[in-house]
Amino acid sequence: SRMAESLRLFDSICNNNWFINTSLILFLNKKDLLADKIRRIPLTVCFSEYKGQNTYEEAAVYIQRQFEDLNRNKETKEIYSHFTCATDTSNIQFVFDAVTDVIIQ
């Protein structure tokens, strides 16, 4: 599945020796499509071990955690996750501001 491939790719980047001490910004895009899809298709189709409710809020937290839990260097690497919708300009502005704050730090 695309989700499994995304997790594998993130794992390879997140835990690459070149990025051991590098914090990452994770954009989980198309949150509008996730919200729509989760009403029709249970998250257990992709994550058989998922036990939460079939709501956007719980599914989003679970998916975010799947990515963040791949980080094998939690003491030296921070992952800043943001759910985004490219067509939602207020959301994009909020994420841009948050990313700017992270970069400036």
Sign of the alpha-carbon dihedral angle for 34, 99, 70, 6: positive
30 is in an annotated binding site: yes
Cβ–Cβ under 8 Å, residues 83 and 60: yes
Task: In whole angstroms, give the CA distance from residue 62 to residue 55.
Answer: 11
73 is in an annotated binding site: no
Cβ–Cβ under 8 Å, residues 42 and 98: no
31 is in an annotated binding site: yes
51 is in an annotated binding site: no
List residues forming the annotated binding site for GTP. 29-32, 86
List residues forming the annotated binding site. 29-32, 86
